[in-house]
Every structure is written in C-alpha cells, then in structure tokens.
Homo-oligomer: A and B are copies of this chain.
Amino acid sequence: MTPLIITDGRRRYLFRGKDIHTDRGVISAVDILSSSDGKVKTHLGYEFSVREARSEDYFHHFTRTRTPLMPKDVGAIIAYTGLKSSDVVLDAGTGTGILSAFLATIASKVITCESNPHSARVALRNFRTFGIDNVEVIIGDIRRLHFRMKFDVITLDLPEAHEVIPHVSEYLKDGGYLVVYSPYIDRSAEAMRALQNFTSVRGIELIEREINISKRGIRPNTRVAHTGYLVIARK
C-alpha cells in the first residue's frame, strides 16, 4: 500500500497507522482510513488533506543519518543521465537512502551499498515505510564487492570516490553514466581527473536560490545553501 501524507500545506505528517497529534488537534486514524474525499478534520475542526505519498515526500519524511542529497541534485542526476525505466543502478554510499529511493521510482532496480550498518538499517526502514521494494541494500565496502552484472548508472556519494572509480568502472556498461557527488570542490576535481578516460566528463555545481515575495517586493531568500558538486561522466 502507498503510504499516506496528511497535510494542511504547512504541516506534513506521514501516516503510520496511528492517530496523529498536531498543534491544531488530533487526527483520528479511523478518519484517515475512511476519508473518501481526501479531507479529514482534527478534533478541533481544522481541515487537513490526505494524499498518497510521492517520491518528493522522501525529502521530508525519511529518517536521516546524514545530510541527504537535495532535490536539485537528485533531479540533475536523473536529467544528466537520462535515467529510464529499464535502467539498473548501483548506488554506493546509501546514507539516508534518498537517492536510491528516488532513482528506484524511475529505474527498474537499484542496488545500494553502505559500509555503516546503522545507516544501512535506517535506509532499509525508510524504504519499507514508503513501500519501495526495488532497492537492494548491501552492507559492506564497495571496494570489496564484485558483481556478475553491469549497470546503466553508477552513483558514488563517498569521501574516497576517486579511489573507488577504477574498481566500479568495470561494472558500468559502455555508454553508461558514472556520477560522483561531493561537498568538496577539490575532491570533485580529483574525481574528474580519475574519469579522464571516459568519453565525456562534466563537473557542475547547482546553486539554488529561493524567491520570496511580500508586499515590499521580490527578493531571493537571504540564505542560499551550498550542498555539493556533481561530476557526471559517460563511459
């Protein structure tokens, strides 16, 4: 079953089968399950919407073990690799699992590996909560793993990505994409150098600015978050 999101726009709750306690009153689990028009009310009378979760909700509701990728970076990975439904993806450095989960809503299968058992368990729980059943989690160091298949897309979110590249490149199909995500520009440059025998290599950074509108005028949000750099190479 697709999990449900209960929201009034500002507040967002993931329905976990129990009553939801909000600062605007309690929403009964029975009301949620029996809502036919997608609306429920708290016991204080405030209206909320009931919606099926979409992959965008992962960014809000996944339990985090470290800073996850932001939508802009996940989106760029999808667009620059042209990810499609028949793709099989290898994602090294599962972390919170957002990238794997998101790619899995498009690709046919994602195999992800994470050396930290705690992170792997949290990611697995995140996948289960959202009914994501085409991600396989391997606990272990990517450098010691061997595969009997090749992948369409490989993503690396690891501090030592540039050292891992020669090993994982073997498992990338010709014409497939290898993507490295790193918060550090010098690490990204090392990855670009390690990818120089690929047919194309591109390093980018996406800066996201939020627009604020008020009666006084239009301005960017005062804070712009740096997240990281993406290196995208095609074999």
Interface residues in chain A, defined as those with a beta carbon under 8 Å from any beta carbon in chain B: 7-9, 38, 49, 51-52, 54-58, 71-72, 74-85, 102, 105-106, 159, 174-175, 182-189, 192-193, 198-200, 202-213, 216-229
Contact = CB atoms under 8 A, between A and B. Distances in A.
Given A51-B174, A77-B75, A174-B49, A57 B82 contact: yes
A75 B85 contact: no
A206 B206 contact: yes
Stoichiometry (number of copies): 4
Contact of A209 (B79, B105, B226, B228): B226
B38 A174 contact: yes
A212 to B, nearest CB: 8
14 contacts: A55-B79, A72-B204, A75-B76, A78-B79, A82-B105, A85-B85, A185-B186, A185-B217, A185-B219, A203-B211, A204-B208, A219-B228, A223-B225, A224-B225
